[in-house]
Amino acid sequence: MYDVLILGGGPGGYAAAIRAAQLKGKVALVEATDLGGTCVNRGCIPSKAWSRAAYLKYWIERAEEFGLKTTLQGWDLGTLVQRKNGVGHDIREGMKALLKKNGVDLVSGQGLLKSPKEVSVDGKIFETRNIIIATGSSPSIPLMAGLADLALTAEQVFDLEELPASVLILGGGPIEVETAAILAAFGTKTTLAVPERRILPLEDNGTSQRLTQALKDQGIEIIRGFKAEETIPAGDGIKARLGEKWVEAARVVTGARKPNTAGLGLETIGLKLNDDNSIPVNKRQETSVPGIFAIGDVTGGWMLSHAASTMGVVAAENVMGLEAVYRSQLVPRGLWTNPEMAAVGISEEEAGKQGIDINVGYFPYPVNGLAMVRGQVDGAVKIISEAQYGQILGVHIVGADATELIGEAVMALQLECTVDELAHSIRLHPTFSECLMDASRDAASWALYLPPR
C-alpha cells in the first residue's frame, strides 16, 4: 500500500513525488512515456534551446557595433536539434537518479483509476491511500478542412531541421508569440492570426503593445481580431481566410493545448470535469473526490511548468498531513522573445476591474546604464501598487533579462513588500535590476532619473 501514487512524471508529478518522499511517504510515480513531460521533452527546454540560438544569431549580426568584425556563415539546425535532445536526455537521467535516491518507485505504463484507492497500470493493480493526477496537456489541432498534413504543433517545430519558407501561426498567446519570434529570427516569413484585439490578451496592455511593436520590427505580420475561418490548398501550402483577407503560407502552426483527462477512468470514481475538460481543484489541489488531488496542466489555467511544480509540492504536503495552499497570484509568466517579457501579479486593467485604487510606477530601459552599454534599450518596468499603503500588487517587465528579474518581483509580492521599501533598497550598478528600484521610486512619486510628473 502506497501513501500516494502519482499519475504523470512531468514537472508537477516529479516535484510531488520527491516532496512526498522527503516527508517519509511511500511513493509510486507512474509515467506512460518519458520523464519530464512536455516541458523537458517538447516544450520549455526545447524552445529555450532554439531561443538561445536565435539570441546568439542576433548578436553575431550586431557584433560590429562593439568593434567586432565577424560574419555569420549560416546555421545548422540539425546540430541545434541534437543539442536540444541532448539537454533533454541529461535532465531525464538526472530526474531518474533523484527519484531512485529518494526511494520513489518509478512505474512505466499507462495508469487507469479503478477506484479512489486503486490504480491499474497496464493491468497490474496498485493500492494507494491517495492519488495525485499530473497527466499534463497535449496539443490541440483545430479541425479545419484543408489543413491535412500541413499543420504543425509548436512542439513539432522544434524537431525541424529545415524550416518552412512561411508559416501562419494561429493564436496570440504565449506559446504562439514565442514560436513566432523564433521562426522569424531564422528567416521564416511569419504571420500571427490573433483572434483577440491584441496579442497576450491576459497580460498588461502596455506589455502587449511593446511586444507587438518588437515583433513587427522583426518582420512578423500580426492580424488581429480574426480567427482562421477557412483553409484551402494553395500550391504546396494553404490559403487561410481571416475575415475578408486571405493569407498564404507553407505551413500552419498551432500552440493550443488541451488537458489530458481522457482515458484515466475519472468517470469510474465520479470526478466531474470543467467545460474545457480540466479538473477543478481547490487551493489545496484537492478534487471533489476525497483522497484524489490534481496538479499542473490537467487543472487548466496558465499551463506553466513552474506552476505545476508548485502545485505538486502543495499536493504532496497536504497528502502527508501538512497544511499547504497554492497561491496563484505569485506565479510568474515569461517569454524568451527579443526583448524578453515577464510578469507577476495583477495588471493595471485587472486592478481597475477589481476597483482597487492604485499607483503606477514606470521606468524605461533607455535610461538604464547597462541597457545603454549593451545596446538593449527596448523595454520598461511597470509596477502596480495599492495606493494607500503602497503594497506591490503586480510587476510587468519587457526588456533584457526580464525572465530573471521577475524572480525579485515574485519575492516582493510574497513578502508583501511596499514600493517605499523597494525604492529604498540598493542595487549593484550598472545592472538591469536597478530598473525595479527606479520604477518603485516612480510609483512612490520620487523618481531620481525621470522628469518630474
What's the rounded Cα separation, in Å, for the pair 81 and 58?
19
Alpha helices in 192-304 (DSSP H): 205-217
- The closest alpha carbon to 157, from 304, 47, 36, 263, belongs to 47
Quickly list DSSP for 181-221.
Answer: HHHHHTT-EEEEEESSSSSSTTS-HHHHHHHHHHHHHTT-E
- Annotated active-site positions, please? 429
C-alpha distances out from residue 42 to 34, 36, 190, Å: 11, 9, 21
Q: What is the dihedral of CA 208, 214, 220, 221, to 10 degrees?
A: 50
**Amino acid in position 168:** L
Contact criterion met (CB below 8 Å) for 261 and 273: yes
What's the rounded Cα separation, in Å, for the pair 294 and 288?
10
- The closest alpha carbon to 151, from 225, 49, 255, belongs to 255
Alpha helices in 35-173 (DSSP H): 37-41, 44-61, 77-101, 154-157
Please identify which residue in the block is written with the cell numbers 501598487.
Answer: 385
Peptide bond into 174 cis (omega under 30): no
Quote the crossing angle between the two packed helices 402-414 and 434-443, to the nearest 10°.
50
